[in-house]
Chains A and B, each alone.
Chain A
Amino acid sequence: MAAEATAPAPRRSAGKRLADLFQGRPRLTVAALLAAPLGWLVIGYLGSLAVMLIASFWHLNELSGEIQQGFSFDNFNTLFTDDVYRTIAGRTVGVAAAVTVTDAILAFPIAFYMAKVAKPRMQALLVIAVLLPLWSSYLVKVGAWRLMLSEDGAINWALGPFGLHGPGYGTIAVWLVMSYIWLPYMIIPIYAGLERIPDSLFNASEDLGAKPGRTFRKVVMPLTFPAIVAGSIFTFSLTLGDYITPANVGDKQFIGNVVYSNFVSNLPLAAAITTIPIVVMVIYLLIARRLGAFEHV
Chain B
Amino acid sequence: MKTPQSNPLRVLWLCVISLFAVLVVAGCGGSDDSDSGGSEVTEIGKTEGQLNLIAWAGYAEDGSTDKTVDWVSGFEKQTGCKVATKTASTSDEMVQLMRTGQYDGVSASGDASLRLIEGGDVQAIDMSILSNYADINPSLKDTDYNTVDGKNYGMPHGWGANVLLFNTDEVKPAPTSWASVFDPAEASQFSGKITAPDNPIYIADAAVYLKEHQPDLGIDDPYELDEDQFNAAVDLLKEQNKMIGEYWPDATKNISSYTNGDSVIGSSWQYQTSALEGAGEPVSSDLPTEGTTGWSDTWMLSSEAANPNCMLEWMNWMGSPETQAAVAEWFGEAPANLGACELTSDPKHCDTYHADDQKYYDQIAFWKTPVSDCGDDRGTECKTYDDWVQAWTEIKG
**CB within 8 Å of B: which residues of A?**
25, 27-28, 30-32, 34-35, 38-39, 42-43, 46-47, 50-51, 54-55, 60-67, 69, 78, 82-85, 87-88, 147, 150-153, 168-169, 247, 251-253, 258, 261-266
How long is the Cα–Cα vector from A153 to B261 in the complex, in angstroms? 9
Chain A minimum-CB-distance residue to B373: A63
Q: With the chains together, A262 CA to B200 CA distance in Å?
A: 11
A62–B372 CB distance below 8 A: yes
Contact, CB under 8 Å: A39 / B34 = no
Contact yes or no, B12 A66, CB < 8 A: no
Contact of A265 among B27, B95, B120 (CB under 8 A): B95
Q: In the complex, which of the residues A28, A46, A88, A263 contacts B8, with contact meaning CB atoms closer than 8 Å?
A: A28
Q: Which of B41-49, B342-350, B388-396 contacts A (4 or more CB under 8 A)?
A: B388-396
Cβ-closest 8 pairs across A and B: A51-B27, A151-B261, A64-B118, A150-B260, A64-B119, A31-B8, A47-B23, A31-B12
Cα distance, A47 to B28, chains bound together (Å): 12
Q: Mark B60-99, 1 if CB is under 8 A from A, else 0.
A: 0000000000000000000000000000001011011001
Q: Are A265 and B261 in contact (CB under 8 A)?
A: no
Q: List 25 A-B contacts (CB under 8 A).
A: A31-B12, A39-B16, A42-B17, A42-B20, A43-B20, A47-B19, A47-B27, A51-B23, A51-B24, A51-B27, A64-B120, A65-B115, A66-B32, A66-B118, A67-B32, A69-B31, A88-B397, A152-B260, A168-B192, A169-B245, A251-B244, A252-B396, A253-B397, A264-B96, A265-B92
Give complex CA distance A28, B115 in Å. 54
Chain B residues with Cβ under 8 A from A65's Cβ? Answer: 95, 115, 118-119, 385-386
| Shortest beta-carbon distance from B54 to chain A in Å | 13
Given pairs A50-B27, A51-B27, 7 additional interface contacts (CB within 8 A): A61-B119, A150-B257, A151-B262, A252-B396, A262-B393, A265-B92, A266-B389
B119–A66 touching, CB < 8 Å: yes
Residues from chain B with a CB closer than 8 A to the CB of A38 are 12, 16
Let me know if B16 and A62 touch, CB within 8 A: no
Contact status A264-B8, CB under 8 Å: no
Which residue of the partner chain A has the closest CB to B24? A50
* A25 CB, min distance to chain B CBs, angstroms: 7
Instruction: Report Cα–Cα, A64/B384, bound state, in Å.
Output: 11
Complexed CA–CA distance, A152 and B263 (Å): 11
Instruction: Give the docked Cα–Cα distance between A277 and B396 (Å).
Output: 20
Neighbouring B residues of A265 by C-beta, 8 Å: 92, 95-96, 385, 389
Whether A264 lies near B24 (C-beta < 8 A) is no
A20 to B339, CA, bound (A): 83
Q: Is the CB of A30 within 8 A of B9?
A: yes
| CB closest chain-B residue, reference A57 | B28
Residue of B nearest to A28 (CB): B8
Contacts of A152 in B (CB 8 A): 260-261
Q: Is B7 an interface residue (CB 8 A)?
A: yes
Q: Taking CB as reference atom, which chain A residue is nearest B99?
A: A66
- With a cutoff of 8 Å between Cβ atoms, the chain A residues found around residue B396 in the complex are 252-253
Which B residue sits closest to A266, measured CB to CB?
B389
Minimum CB–CB distance from A248 to chain B (whole Å) comes to 9
Within 8 A of A (CB), among B338-397: 369, 371-372, 384-386, 389-390, 393-394, 396-397
